[in-house]
Amino acid sequence: MRIDFVNGIDQPSIVNWHGLHVPADMMGLPRYQIMPGARYRYEFTVDDRAGTCWYHAMAAGHTPEQVYFGLAGLIYIHDEEEAALSLPRGEYDRSIVIQDRDWGVDNTLHYVAGSGPAASRVALPAALGPSGMMGGGMMGDGGEGRGTSGMMMHMMGFFGREIFINGRPSAPLEVATHVYRWRVLNASNARTYKLAWQDGLPLTVIATDGGLLARPVQKDAVMLTPGQRVELWVDFSHDALGGERILVSRAFTGSMGEMGRMMKDMMGGSMMNIPTLPDGAEFPLFSARVTRRVEEHVELPKRLSTMVRLREQDAVNRAHPRRFRVTMGHMQWGFNGRSFEMDRVAPDEIVKRGTTEIWEFENNHMMAHAIHVHGLQFQVLERSGCASTSDVADGYVDTGWLDTVLIMPNETVKLILRFRDFTGTYAYQCHMLEHAAAGLMRDYRVRA
């Protein structure tokens, strides 16, 4: 691939990839961001399984805002294994991108005061805090959102009042009496969804972040945290013309949990931007209306792909997994007490190319996080903690390749990763974007 990213906005920016295994200087991390009017050339070989990848803007101090206002999109990868399957194609292969947003008083999209495509900008040095943190900590929006409300939003994440599907609010999808492949991306800044059919029918999952599963999996509901993708096999072939199905987000113990209640009690509800559509509430996402009859029918394959499992016994640190604790101090998130610092890597954040490792992420805080590791796909070995028996556990789809994983309060997730091919500096972070902007992101380095 050769792609030229031309920065035509009036903020620094760069494009970051999810799902593509590329050299470090092609990953699109903040150290490579370019100023307005500049150009960055990506050149790399696509050597990944078939699947649904995506990309988004990733600039120091501006990532949550730029993604919110639309600098994101999907990439499909196809391969011979996928081509041999009888899967829905063409118009029956659809993207479903979910975001929650707010309308401003002037009928434009609203993030925080002073943000948006028409807002005046802060120069790059001013957007970085004294430690080089993305966004300068809690207040890195550069606009008027620097009061208590803006601070709490950057602490807990942005939660919009309206659900947008593929960039449009309240727009039903028109479908035929056919089988569909729905590629669902959670592109929201911070909101996690518990996908389910309103009528209680099970969902059929055929793929996750890193491509097709070995076999289809049926779930009553599927948890989808920011950055995650899931592919659903959706069969309307027996539905009546004029019929309608509604996809909802089921109620669950919200990712803000007790933290939201405590913040509200401490600061006073009138001073805070407490979402009117709380995380974990039940609400409709969109409806699918059957408007056309077709006779073709596609059978769900019993086997989808050859899944190679990484083996725990092959990990060089199997006896002593690398541990990353989510921490909070001085109103900044961090891993193991360290917040983001541009181009700074600690000794315990260095790995060797060609090795397999086990990483353990521990979340003893009262808020959920979406752990994302750049540059590769990983597999989940196990989960432990009270979240493993909560109302979200049945919605985890941990059997495939992932690059983002939900970790609920008081939960620990053990991952296995293989660092192949490339050396250089990558990153790991929370993909609840305001959390990352408030420090919950670190670099890791792959050495020869």
Question: Contact at 8 Å (CB) between 370 and 406?
Answer: yes
E-strand stretches of 227-354: 229-235, 244-249, 283-292, 322-329, 332-335, 350-352
The domain limits of the chain are 2-79, 312-447
Query: How far out from the chain centre does Cα 210 lie?
Result: 13
Place of tokens 């199905």: 245
- 174-195 burial string, b = 16+ CB within 10 Å, else e? ebbbbbbbbbbbbbbbbbbbbb
| CA distance linking residue 233 with residue 245, whole number of Å | 14
The pTM (predicted TM-score) of the whole model is 0.91
Per residue in 339-371, pLDDT (tens digit) is 999 989 999 999 999 999 999 999 998 899 999
Q: Which CATH architecture has domain 312-447?
A: Sandwich (2.60)
Question: Contact at 8 Å (CB) between 30 and 342?
Answer: yes
The CATH class, in words, for 2-79 is mainly beta
Query: What is the pLDDT at residue 274?
Result: 55
| CA distance linking residue 348 with residue 246, whole number of Å | 47
With a cut of 70, which residues of the chain have pLDDT below it?
118-150, 254-275, 387-389
Per residue in 248-279, pLDDT (tens digit) is 999 998 666 555 555 545 444 444 455 678 88
- 263-291 burial string, b = 16+ CB within 10 Å, else e? bbeeeeeeebbbbeeebbeeeebbbbbbe
| CA distance linking residue 51 with residue 305, whole number of Å | 11
Place of tokens 């999907």: 74
Query: What is the pLDDT at residue 129?
Result: 39
Copy the structure tokens of residue 369: 């996080």
Query: What is the pLDDT at residue 208?
Result: 98
Q: DSSP code of 13?
A: B
- CB atoms under 10 Å from CB of 319, counted, come to 7
Pairing of strands 211-219, 2-6: unpaired
Helices and strands in the chain, H and E counts: 6, 28
Instruction: Find residue 164's DSSP bridge partners.
Output: 99, 169
The 3-state DSSP class for residue 36 equals coil
One fold for 2-79 and 312-447: yes
The 3-state DSSP class for residue 277 equals coil
Per residue in 70-86, pLDDT (tens digit) is 999 999 999 999 999 99
Q: Give 65-71 contacts, CB < 8 A, sequence gap 24+.
A: 65/111, 65/112, 65/115, 65/116, 65/141, 66/9, 66/11, 66/13, 67/187, 67/189, 67/433, 68/99, 68/101, 68/109, 68/111, 68/158, 68/189, 69/109, 69/111, 69/115, 69/116, 69/117, 70/167, 71/13
Q: Tell me the backbone φ, ψ of residue 43, rounded to 5 degrees.
A: -140, 115
Output Rg (C-alpha) for the chain, integer angstroms: 21
Query: What is the pLDDT at residue 256?
Result: 63
Nearest C-alpha neighbor of 209 from the set 373, 25, 72, 322: 373
Pairing of strands 283-292, 173-176: parallel
Contacts of 306 (CB under 8 A, 6+ apart): 81, 214
Q: Tell me the backbone φ, ψ of residue 108, rounded to 5 degrees.
A: -115, 165
Q: DSSP code of 307?
A: P
The 3-state DSSP class for residue 231 equals strand
The 3-state DSSP class for residue 448 equals coil
Instruction: Find residue 52's DSSP bridge partners.
Output: 76
